[in-house]
Chains A and B, each alone.
Chain A
Amino acid sequence: MSTFYFLFQQTMFFSIPLLVVALGGMFSERSGVVNIALEGIMIMGAFSGIFFINACQTNFALNGQILLIAALCVSALTGMVFSLLHAYAAINMNADQVISGTALNMFAPAFAIYVARMIQTVQQIQFKNEFRFDFIPFLGKIPVIGPMFFQNTYLTTFLGLIILGISIVVLNKTRFGLRLRACGEHPQAADSVGIKVRWMRYAGVMISGALAGIGGLIFVIPTSTNFNATVAGYGFLALAVLIFGQWNPKRIFFAALLFGVMKTLAAAYTGIPFLSNLPIPSYFYKMTPYIATLIVLAFTSKNSQSPKAAGQPYDQAGR
């Protein structure tokens, strides 16, 4: 049973960042802007957040959960500002969204390495992980649920689940969500009833920037002790989760969970007696998340629910 709890906790470390970033991508794409720059935005978010934590820890400015919350705000803000570059190119300049997204993806790691090495000569930014809850009082004692959610966990796990809840409500139950979806499905129709398509698309991209920025930070904190200008392709994986989840928050959640489980098995299979006894090379376990995604996509892509106007610059003359 303890193995199960351990695996569940690990799964959360992999799934929650994917969930948050994919939800970000969802807001952008449902407003009609394809955001392939999620990877770059994650890097910028993680970079600024970890840099902030590093600075606070060396100067003894903040600590504990307050420091984590402050760093999350820094990451969200950085991601949002950085995503404005993509928004401007896509919305104002009618640019090819794949090109500007690629530019952002190239820029982010180069910028993170450049700044880190200019300031502290080495490219890795160290941080002390003081954010883990080993055991949350009272809640951690609840049988089954306690060890699953309230032991060896982070504030960010709950934050991710809260963001999921808010996303479901915002997208499906609010005026803003309805308008956002309208802009991604049929911007001309939305415009004709007085919705400001450009504003809505800016909002979509900026939400994706903030969430991807947060996602970058919450990916790095549980899985590493330093930031080395990379988020290991998680931005692209989030894109896969988004498509796999058919641009729908609940399905994105399950997609992220599935991917997290496979990623955990790949990372921790040696700790599972049944799997480690099989004569299968470790590389095969590392591949399974990607192979499984391909197989699932092959069966689910025929009836794609992708937003109809995603990727197309809005042309007012097309009304």
Chain B
Amino acid sequence: MMPKWIGKSNLLSEKNIVSLTSSISAILVGLLFGLVILLISNPSQAFAGFKTILFGGFTGGFKGVGQVLYFATPIIMTGLSVGFAFKTGLFNIGASGQFIVGAYAAVLVGVRLTSLPPSIHWIVALLAAAAAGGLWALLPGILKAYANVNEVIATIMMNYIGMYSVNYLVTRTVYDQLRNQSISTVAVLPKWGLTTLFPRSSVNGGFFIAVFMVIVVHILINKTTFGYELKACGFNREASRYAGINAKRNIVLSMVIAGALAGIGAGLLFLAGSGKHIEVVDILAVEGFNGIPVALLGMSSPIGILFAGLFIAYVTQGGFYLQLSNFVPEVIDIIIAAIIYFSAFALIFKNIMSKLIKGRKEQKQ
């Protein structure tokens, strides 16, 4: 007889094991595809290059691992943003806009509110980032709920509006004219011992905050009535309305929470004290778009997203070292794209797996 809590926790349930194995097979096929690309473009160096990808973040020793955690932090958050929206039946392609608006709020507070004590300053800046990100997702949420505007299009539009607004606001308020970017914030996240563990890397306490948010979102989605209602709206809006759930309010709230998560991701990156600034260029923030593959690979589950974010940061770090053997680091993006493509076949894969498991159970009986 298993203890009751194991039966209740669904982390190791059949469904999750099937999801995990299909994600891992997608990763394997994607990596093989990457090997083929390397072999075609430069056969003599291909295997050395492939080894570099596999060793990824470990290539640089402890510093490398620290960098992996540092790069994983914002994409875990934007992955959570996209994944949370997915769970509630919305495709938030606007994490990029929510991210940059959050970044501006964090930087503005980080630069201006210097009267706050340092131990509180970063918290206020981070909360400002969350609020700004949530606010940026509020409009697409309202438009979706009350005017039936496709949230994909609305959030794409908000991406561009956010980018131009932030560029304008940065030049008006916190501008470093010489470098065409925002000035450095005074507020900096605490390190919480991580720099002693991973010397010379940019890792900081932000990683712990991201992990904490993963747990919060996990509990929110899986253990609360509110989360259940949100998911129910995602599955079937009409049925959930029939069951007395306020679907419109839930759509707006899902978007706002998703936006806040992306905003926090920006806060964690721009308050890291790693020399990262908002650059005034007409290019959408990549961290927002990188959240999409993280969410997809993590099957939209918060725990899955944590590992997917770490994995993608890990291979991306491998891409930096790949340049030493005369390869172009974009091969990593090709591999990630291939992994996402094959993970789209998960449905078929899941059916096969479930049949196998079922067959085995019937045999046992």
Contacts and interface: CB of A to CB of B under 8 A. Distances in A.
Interface of A: 36, 85, 89, 93-96, 98-100, 102-104, 106-107, 109-111, 113-114, 117-118, 233, 236-237, 239-240, 243-244, 281, 283-284, 286-287, 290-291, 293-294, 297-299, 301-302, 304
Given A239-B153, A284-B168, A297-B154, 16 more contacts: A89-B345, A94-B348, A96-B344, A102-B293, A102-B296, A102-B340, A106-B333, A110-B333, A111-B330, A118-B41, A239-B156, A286-B164, A287-B160, A290-B158, A294-B154, A297-B149
Contacts of B340: 99, 102-103, 106
Chain B interface residue count: which class? 35 or more
A243 B91 contact: no
B341 A100 contact: yes
A93 B148 CA distance: 30
A244 B332 CA distance: 36
A290 B157 contact: yes
A115 to B, nearest CB: 8
B48 interface: no
Contacts of B161: 287, 290-291, 294
Q: Which of B160, B284, B330, B333 has the most CB atoms of chain A within a 10 A radius of its CB? A: B330
A294 B347 contact: no
Interface of B: 37, 41-42, 91, 93, 139, 143, 147-150, 152-154, 156-158, 160-161, 164-165, 167-168, 282, 284, 292-293, 296, 328, 330-334, 336-338, 340-341, 343-348
| Closest 10 pairs between A and B when the two form their complex, measured CB to CB | A110-B333, A107-B337, A103-B341, A95-B344, A283-B168, A106-B337, A99-B344, A103-B340, A100-B344, A290-B157
B160 to A, nearest CB: 4
Nearest to A106: B337
A240 B344 contact: no
Q: Which of B149, B292, B332 has the most CB atoms of chain A within a 10 A radius of its CB? A: B149
A43 to B, nearest CB: 12
A106 B336 contact: yes
Contacts of A290: 157-158, 160-161
Nearest to A113: B330
Contacts of B293: 102, 106
B44 to A, nearest CB: 14
Contacts of A96: 344, 347
A99 B349 CA distance: 15
29 contacts: A93-B347, A95-B347, A96-B344, A96-B347, A99-B296, A99-B340, A99-B344, A102-B292, A102-B293, A102-B296, A102-B340, A106-B293, A110-B331, A110-B333, A111-B330, A111-B334, A114-B37, A114-B330, A117-B330, A243-B150, A283-B167, A283-B168, A284-B168, A294-B154, A294-B158, A294-B161, A298-B149, A299-B147, A304-B148
